[in-house]
Amino acid sequence: MSAATGYDVEAIRADFPILSTRVGQYPLAYLDSANTSQKPQVVIDAVADHYAHHNANVARAMHKLGLEATQAYEGGRARIARFIGAARPEEVIALSNASEGLNLCAHTLGSRLGPGDEVVISVMEHHSNLVPWQLACQRTGATLRWFDVTDEGRLDLAGAEREGLINEHTKVVSVTLASNVLGTVNPVARIAAMAHAVGAVMVVDASQAVPQMPVDVSALGADLVAFTGHKMVGPTGIGILWGRYDLLAELPPFLGGGEMIEIVKMDHSTYAEPPHRFEAGTPPIAQMVGLAAAADYLDGIGMAAIAAHERDIADYALEGLSGLKGLRILGPTEAVDRTGTISFTIDGVHPHDAMSLMDSRGVAVRGGHHCARPLHERFGIQSSLRASAYLYTTREEIDALIDAVEYARDFFTGRTMTAGAGAGRHH
Amino acid sequence: MNVEDMYQQIILDHYREKHHSGLREDYDAEVTQVNPSCGDELMLRLHLDGDVITDVSYDAVGCSISQASTSVMTDLVIGKTVEQAQQLYRGFQEMMRSHGEVKLDEETYDDAVAFEGVAQLMARVKCAMLGWSALEESMMEAEQNSDTPVSTQNSETPTAPASVGAAGKGDKA
């Protein structure tokens, strides 16, 4: 695979110090990148270098270091703008995470909502693109509606059309670009066209997409796009909200504080232009430096190449997992319009139990509802296991996953109590 | 510690065949506990005769640790007084929070000693405590429910409203 495509996964792995971790006698198989990704040395170094040599507050510090920090921060903004194809850096707002970005959307767009208005989301949303809209609807009297999913785990567009989900009452449509549970990649451009046809604003949660595939916000059809830094080999503590500039310019502030103002008097204030209007308080400066380094790193490999690698891994994992007895895959079982995130259940074994056993064999997966409880309810289950791949994932790690799943299944269903059996049937 | 050792046969046995499971009528308190990180859910009912726990009935979805721990707990506390059950709760909780330092008395705790291994795995402590936490909450609720306005007789402010929520047996399902 790597010979044909020139994708050298071993060279990439060498950039990530943590990937050489061992768990007892087993090498670590980190399959929890949809939760958070690991960091290459260049990102770790960029953050350390900032603190060691350029640290000061931004904008308000006028001395030499203050200028360096400001340049680094605003330079990072421009770098992220380029990474996602934004028309200009001022369309990029730095927040603490994607959840804050989506809360900003729900609050500022919520200020325009009232009884009779409708907000449309989907049943596959992460709680961060669900609860903020519930709260906005509770505050304003608007109605929350949602796309269902098909049994295969795709958005049920036909059902939505039948029931007139998006209609003249719709003011906001907010859906995920890629599901954090099912791996499904949604046809956002098509949904955005439906939203715009009725004059609604289109919000996209791209937390599981921007790290995994080329995303061009100017071609997506969306008006607002939120994602997070730590899932794209960047630091924790920074999330990005991109918005069409003319829309951002219309929106009221979200959080109040330093740097988001123009003039403050005791009885009222005027506010800065975007993006600073939405960046109250000291922003994530070192995190922005690290995120810019992450963007450099990912572009150095190429987002298209990363997406192709993930497709290859997803293909391999889906084939291996679907051959296992007692295993049910949630979501598309073909590596088409899906990421390398695969959730599944094992008959008779609770995900937490399986996870503990798999963890002891070095296989790090997530067990639970993955902040998507309504989606699990939709599939009639309480929780699931999730293995998620990224640019550094190897086929050997997928083999380790499959062995660990079989081991956990047999342990709890009483088929065997001995370790190490059952290997060697994979490709 | 080896994870396989944590899953002692006692735990797997209780998981496969839970004792006293199912919800029964005629209860004195009913509580729900969830573990938001994994979604485990438990509804538990406490059945009393005076001060004695005559039954603990429950409906639960969850992992083997939480299911088995709840099953073992019911074995231990049914037939005991509320005060004895509270003592058992405190001892079990102390052990679970001790990272493996505190051991349980096998005479007193019987199958519950099997959870000493779980105490060493921080991620699963909450699972083992779920049923016990529900028990504790149900005992507190039962106490509140039985705290009838009788106590206001000695109150210096006789106009104070009597405590609300006092409920009779099984009338709030």
Residue B149 confidence (pLDDT) above 70: no
Phi, psi of B31 (to 5 degrees): -135, 160
Do A118 and A225 belong to one domain? yes
Task: Indicate whether B99 belongs to any domain.
Answer: yes
Query: Which residue from B minimizes the CA distance to A24?
Result: B2
Quote the domain boundaries for residue A332.
2-30+302-412
Chain A positions touching B123 (Cβ under 8 A) are 356
Q: Does residue A371 have an active-site annotation? A: yes
Instruction: Kindly identify which residue of chain A lies nearest to residue B126, measuring between CA atoms.
Output: A352
Q: Is residue B167 part of a domain?
A: no
ipTM of the complex: 0.74
A368/B37 touch (CB, cutoff 8 Å), yes or no:
yes
Nearest to B61 among A368, A382, A419 (CB): A382
In a domain, B61, yes or no: yes
In a domain, A237, yes or no: no
Contact A356 B2 (CB under 8 A): no
Distance from first CA to last CA of chain A, Å, rounded?
A: 13
Residue to substitute from B1, B2, B3, interface A, most A β-carbons within 10 A: B3
Closest by Cβ to A350, choosing from B4, B12, B64: B64
In this complex, do B39 and A373 lie within 8 Å of one another by their Cβ atoms? yes
Residue A258's pLDDT is: 85
Q: Compute the nearest-CA separation of A294 from chain B (Å).
A: 29
Instruction: Decide if A263 is inside a domain.
Output: no
Q: Which domain holds residue B128?
A: 3-144
DSSP output for A93-151? EEESSHHHHHHHHHHHHHTT--TT-EEEEETT--GGGTHHHHHHHHHH--EEEEE-B-T
Considering only the beta carbons, identify the residue of B37, B39, B64 that sits closest to A382. B39
In a domain, B170, yes or no: no
Best of A35, A355, A356, A382 to disrupt the B interface by mutation (most B CBs within 10 Å)?
A356
Q: Does A378 touch chain B (CB under 8 A)?
A: no
**CB pairs < 8 Å spanning A and B:** 49
Alpha-carbon distance B64 to nearest alpha carbon in chain A (angstroms): 7
Contact assignment for A368 to B61 by CB distance below 8 Å: no
DSSP A165-196: -S-TTEEEEEEESB-TTT-BBP-HHHHHHHHH
What pLDDT shows up at residue B148?
A: 56
Whether B153 is in a domain gets the answer: no
Q: Between B47 and A3, whose confidence is greater?
A: B47
CB atoms within 10 A of CB A324: 15
Whether residue A120 is contained in a domain is answered as yes
Would you say residue A41 lies in a domain?
no
Chain A residues near residue B37 by CB distance under 8 angstroms: 368
Instruction: Please report how many Cα atoms fall inside a 13 Å half-sphere around the Cα of residue A257, on the Cβ side.
Output: 9
Long-range residue pairs from A199-202, CB within 8 A, at least 24 positions apart, any chain: A199/A171, A200/A120, A200/A166, A200/A170, A200/A171, A200/A172, A200/A173, A201/A109, A201/A171, A201/A172, A201/A173, A201/A247, A202/A173, A202/A174
Pair (A19, A125) in one structural domain = no
Task: Please give the pLDDT value at position A60.
Answer: 73
Which residue, among B8, B63, B65, B69, would best test binding to A if mutated, counting the most A CBs under 10 Å from its CB?
Answer: B63
Which residues does B contribute to its contact with A (CB < 8 Å)?
2-4, 6-7, 12, 37-41, 61-65, 121, 123-124, 127
Give the model's pLDDT for residue B1. Answer: 66
Degrees to nearest 5, angle at CA B20 with B16 and B21: 65
Q: Residue A113 in contact with residue A136, Cβ under 8 Å?
A: yes
B55 in a structural domain: yes
Residues A216 and A111 in one domain: yes
What is residue B91's predicted lDDT score, i.e. its pLDDT? 97
From B4, B7, B39, residue closest to A383, measured CB to CB: B39
pLDDT recorded at residue A4:
55
- Nearest C-alpha of chain B: how many angstroms from A198? 38
A219 in a domain, yes or no? yes
Looking at the structure, do residues A118 and A199 belong to the same domain, yes or no? yes
Instruction: Count the neighbouring beta carbons within 10 Å of the beta carbon of residue A237.
Output: 17
Query: A140 at the B interface (CB within 8 A)?
Result: no
* CATH number reported for the structural domain that contains residue B71 in this entry: 3.90.1010.10
Given the residues A371, A374, A381, A416, the one annotated as active site: A371
Q: Which residues of A touch B3 (CB under 8 A)?
A: 356-357, 359-360
Task: Please give the pLDDT value at position B3.
Answer: 81
Which of A416, A388, A211 lies closest to A317, judged by CA? A388
Q: Report yes or no: A39 and A235 within 8 Å, Cβ to Cβ.
A: yes
Which of A174, A201, A229 terminates a domain? The answer is A229
Domain count, chain A: 2
To the nearest 10°, report the CA torsion of A243, A389, A154, A240.
-10
Q: pLDDT in tens for each of the 427 residues of chain A?
A: 454 568 999 999 999 999 999 999 999 999 999 999 999 999 999 999 999 999 999 977 789 999 999 999 999 999 999 999 999 999 999 999 999 999 999 999 999 999 999 999 999 999 999 999 999 999 999 999 999 999 999 999 999 999 999 999 999 999 999 999 999 999 999 999 999 999 999 999 999 999 999 999 999 999 999 999 999 999 999 999 999 999 999 999 999 988 888 899 999 999 999 999 999 999 999 999 999 999 999 999 999 999 999 999 999 999 999 999 999 999 999 989 999 999 999 998 999 999 999 999 999 999 988 999 999 999 999 899 999 999 999 999 999 999 999 999 999 887 654 433 333 333 3
All residues of chain A having their beta carbon less than 8 Å from the beta carbon of residue B41 are 382
Q: How far apart are the CA of A146 and the nearest CA of chain B, in angstroms?
A: 22
Structural domain contains residue B91 = yes
CATH of the domain at A323: 3.90.1150.10
* CATH number of the domain where residue A215 is located: 3.40.640.10
Q: How far is B10 from chain A (nearest CA, A)?
A: 13
| pLDDT mean over B38-50 | 92
User: Into how many domains does chain B fold?
Assistant: 1
Over residues B20-32, the mean pLDDT reads 96
| Structure confidence by residue, pLDDT tens digits, A365-406 | 999 889 999 999 999 998 999 999 999 999 999 999 999 999
Domain boundary among A181, A204, A229: A229
Is A19 part of any domain? yes
Query: What is the predicted pLDDT for the residue at B154?
Result: 43
Instruction: Tell whether the model's pLDDT for residue B170 goes beyond 80.
Output: no
Note whether A375 contacts B: Cβ–Cβ < 8 A. Answer: no
- Say whether pLDDT at B25 is over 90: yes
Alpha helices in A223-382 (DSSP H): 245-250, 285-301, 303-322, 351-359, 373-378
Q: Which of B7, B17, B38, B41 best tests the A interface by mutation, with the highest count of A CBs <10 A?
A: B38
Domain boundary among A176, A206, A229: A229
pLDDT digits (tens, 9 = 90+) for A100-110: 999 999 999 99
Q: Is residue A209 part of a domain?
A: yes
In a domain, B155, yes or no: no
